[in-house]
């Protein structure tokens, strides 16, 4: 008798909560406040605003179980109509206002952002903007890599700086099961190669590790990306949204992953590269490169989170695990002036108190509804 498939078993536990329920759960932005003169804009925990993650589409050509399981995002799922999406000009306007408040990094995400037609035009608009100190913003992209070969050159020419590719397995069979798509892992690897060829970098590869699902891929993935200049990052399986059937016993702690790697390739701790960074980094003692560990479950990093998230329909989310967003699109399309919108954005950040990962497991926290990761990006 064959052993049970843990991935299939977890999918049977999915709570089928339509994403449309969350798209309607929006609040107005807070009333305007006086902007601080000089210095950083800080939230209630003294965290500065530094990063804006911009979802450009709610669609994806993968159906990964931890993000967009087919059981909840099947052929009957109603994705947003084009008219509901922020235009590139609207996104650029939001980015300009955010940069004036202290943001320095703009990350494009999804869904799968490369499904958004002419994305390089948005990149060019963003690349023309400037931060408070007059420098160009750092523009990054998170993608599943399947379309990267055909888009890498145009994105680089438009001003994209760097790219992060999600890849959970090298085994063709396991990759097919996890992505639940006909796209081959070879296409993703070719996309990574294309990004290297055109000079997008540094390139990072994110692997979400699920115990009993793809943990046997840890060493093969590390071996593949050693000596390539690409940083592989291992991410603990997180309870994002309501449809991914998250179970704590499927979380493989980063400490265990690190021990397994170190047993084969000794590691040296580098630490966290900058305040607000999500990954603790190590280097291979033999000089073969670096690896990172993102440990939201076992070692929450809420204390220095500097990220604000903009959904593709113009909702702002102050946390990856938020239950609701704030409706910015209504202000943009009502003709509100820049100063008013900027002051309301500042008020939103100043009122921010989110720290879900630090509170995980407390009464009522795990049961509350959360926005889907596919809607606001990882």
**Cβ neighbours around 332 below 10 Å, total:** 18
Residue 313 carries which DSSP code? T
Q: For 6-33+48-376, which CATH superfamily applies?
A: Aldolase class I (3.20.20.70)
pLDDT per residue over 153-205, tens digit each?
999 999 999 999 999 999 999 999 999 999 999 999 999 999 999 999 999 99
For the stretch 89-98, pLDDT in tens is: 999 999 999 9
Report the range of poorest mean pLDDT among 120-129, 265-274, 305-314.
Answer: 265-274
What average pLDDT does the structure give for the chain? 91
The alpha helices in the chain, defined as continuous H runs, are: 6-11, 19-23, 88-100, 119-127, 148-158, 172-179, 185-198, 218-225, 254-264, 329-333, 338-351, 356-359, 373-376
Interatomic CA distance for residues 261 and 266, integer angstroms: 7
pLDDT at 13: 42
CA distance 124 to 156: 10
d(CA 58, CA 284): 37
CA atoms within a 13 Å half-sphere pointing along the CA-CB vector of 270: 18
| pLDDT classification of 38: cutoffs 50, 70, 90 | confident
User: Please, which pLDDT band fits residue 16 given cuts at 50, 70 and 90?
Assistant: very low
Find the mean pLDDT for residues 44-48.
96
pLDDT above 90: residue 99? yes
Percentage helix, strand, coil, to 5, in the chain?
35, 15, 50
pLDDT at 116 over 70: yes
Question: Which position has the token pair 């925990």?
Answer: 45
CA distance 211 to 191: 27
Mean pLDDT of 310-325: 94
- pLDDT score of 23: 55
- Confidence at 360, pLDDT banded by 50, 70, 90: confident
pTM, two decimal places: 0.92
- Contacts of residue 237, defined as CB under 8 A and 6 or more positions apart, other chains included, come to 66, 208, 209, 210, 211, 246, 250, 251, 252, 297
Q: Where does the pLDDT of residue 361 fall: very low under 50, low under 70, confident under 90, or very high at 90 and above?
A: confident
In this prediction, residues 229-239 reach a mean pLDDT of 95
289: its two tokens: 């490169």
Distances from the Cα of 240 to the Cα of 29, 94, 106, 296, 370, angstroms? 23, 25, 21, 11, 7
Q: Give the C-alpha separation, 344 to 363, whole Å.
A: 32
Q: Quick check: 21 pLDDT over 90? A: no
364 by Cβ neighbours in 10 Å (0-12 / 13-18 / 19+) ranks as exposed
The per-residue pLDDT for range 246-277, each reduced to its tens digit, is 888 899 999 999 999 999 999 999 966 677 77
Q: How confident is the model at residue 25 (pLDDT cuts 50, 70, 90)?
A: low
How far apart CA 134 and CA 127 sit, in angstroms, is 12
Whether 10 shows a pLDDT value over 80: the answer reads: no
* Model confidence at 351: pLDDT above 60: yes
């Amino acid at each position: 008798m064959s052993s049970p498939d843990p991935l299939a078993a977890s999918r049977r536990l999915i709570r089928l909560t339509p994403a449309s329920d969350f798209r309607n759960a929006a609040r107005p932005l807070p009333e305007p406040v006086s902007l601080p003169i000089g210095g950083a804009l800080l939230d209630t925990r003294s965290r500065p605003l530094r990063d804006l993650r911009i979802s450009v589409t709610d669609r994806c050509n993968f159906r990964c179980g931890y993000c967009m399981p087919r059981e909840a995002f099947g052929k009957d799922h109603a994705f947003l109509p084009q008219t509901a999406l922020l235009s590139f000009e609207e996104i650029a306007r939001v980015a300009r206002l955010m940069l004036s408040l202290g943001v320095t990094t703009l990350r494009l995400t999804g869904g799968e952002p490369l499904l958004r037609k002419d994305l390089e035009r948005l990149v060019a608009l963003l690349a023309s903007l400037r931060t408070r100190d007059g420098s160009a913003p750092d523009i990054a992209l998170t993608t599943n890599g399947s379309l990267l070969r055909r888009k890498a050159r145009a994105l680089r020419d438009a001003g994209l700086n760097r790219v992060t590719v999600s890849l959970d397995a090298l085994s063709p069979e396991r990759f097919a099961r996890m992505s639940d798509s006909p796209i081959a892992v070879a296409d993703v690897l070719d996309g990574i190669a294309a990004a290297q060829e055109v000079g997008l970098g540094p390139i990072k590869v994110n692997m979400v590790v699920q115990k009993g699902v793809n943990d046997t891929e840890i060493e093969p993935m590390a071996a593949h990306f050693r000596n390539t200049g690409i940083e592989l990052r291992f991410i603990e399986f997180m309870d994002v949204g309501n449809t991914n059937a998250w179970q704590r016993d499927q979380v493989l702690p980063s400490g265990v992953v690190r021990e397994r790697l170190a047993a084969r390739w000794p590691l040296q701790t580098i630490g966290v590269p900058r305040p607000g960074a999500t990954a603790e980094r190590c280097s291979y003692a033999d000089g073969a490169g670096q690896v990172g560990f993102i440990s939201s479950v076992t070692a929450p990093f809420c204390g220095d989170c500097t990220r604000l998230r903009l959904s593709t329909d113009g909702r702002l989310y102050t946390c990856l695990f938020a239950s609701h967003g704030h409706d910015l699109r209504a202000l943009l399309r009502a003709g509100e002036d820049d100063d008013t919108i900027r002051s309301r954005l500042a008020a939103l950040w100043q009122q921010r108190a989110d720290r879900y990962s630090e509170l995980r497991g407390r009464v009522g926290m795990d049961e509350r509804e959360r926005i889907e990761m596919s809607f606001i990006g990882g």
